[in-house]
Amino acid sequence: MNAINTVIDFSQGSTAGGMTFVSEPISGADLTVGSGFRAESFRAGDVGEAMDPLVMVDHYVMTEPTFGAHPHAGMSAVSLLFDDSEGLFHNRDSLGNDFDLQPGDLYWLNAGSGAVHDESPRANARIHGLQVFVNVPQTLRFESPASLLVRSKDMPVIYNADSRVKVVLGESNGVRGAASPSIPMTIIDGTIQPGGRFLHRSAANRGIWVQTVKGSLDVVVGETTRHFALGQAVAIKTDGSTKIGIRNASREPVHFALFDGARVAETYV
């Protein structure tokens, strides 16, 4: 793991060169499958186009095999495990992959024309993470499937007095992690201390998803501030480049995840 001490410009989040939409706080729906999977589930069908390029986000805890082998096609399935996961998460797919994900790891399956996937906790494991479906343009939906595994130890970490932020994928504050194997995307997994702030600058024509994993946050974009609580998220749609300020006004550390991806502007069917 590469630790990087970074001085960040904490001027108020702002936009340049276009309009920006910031949703009201969004609450996920409770989802339980069997006795070993429970989640707060967000679907683009409920949230609308502001969620673009994401199609689904499940913030879940999984303790036993639940779904079995299942097919994907025409999109990307992304698994992000949080550091507080316990044990190993067995990953297999029709691309020939057969390995264990460890706490903090990322696995991106670009399903393309079709792939079969199976993830299940090993015995006595407790997996805490996000399962995310990412849309892709029609022109890419029939490509050969591909995958990317990023180990937590290989993700650069931005440290300062206020925060510890892993650049899981993409780039933030000049710090680069692994590149997305599909549409351009940055994924951040961060913790902010009480009274602390973190600033992420997004490129133009992006959809940004900010979600609390633990605690409550303020998100500041230009003159707009949204306060959202545990289990909630906000969706941001920008035409121009955008500064997104994330602020912890509480008395406890806050854990958040951020996805910043190129908008697809096509419905996933």
Spans of all domains in the chain: 3-24+153-262, 29-152
**In this predicted structure, what is the pLDDT of residue 88?**
98
Relative to beta strand 26-27, strand 98-101 is unpaired
Name, in order, each residue with C-beta under 8 angstroms of 196's C-beta and a sequence gap of 6 or more: 161, 162, 163, 247, 248
**In this predicted structure, what is the pLDDT of residue 48?**
82
Span 95-124, mean pLDDT? 95
Q: Do domains 3-24+153-262 and 29-152 have the same CATH topology?
A: yes
**In this predicted structure, what is the pLDDT of residue 5?**
46
Short-list 59, 57, 61, CA closest to 40: 59
Q: Which residue has the tokens 């600033």?
A: 199
DSSP state of 1: -
In the structure, what pLDDT confidence band is assigned to residue 262 with cuts at 50, 70 and 90?
Answer: very high
The SS3 call for residue 171 is strand
Span 13-22, mean pLDDT? 66
CATH number 3.40.250.10 given to 3-24+153-262: no
Q: Using the predicted structure, report yes or no on whether residue 13 has a pLDDT greater than 90.
A: no
Class of domain 29-152: mainly beta
Who has greater pLDDT, 114 or 1?
Answer: 114
Span 225-235, mean pLDDT? 95
Q: Using the predicted structure, report yes or no on whether residue 261 has a pLDDT greater than 70.
A: yes
Q: Is the pTM of this model over 0.85?
A: yes
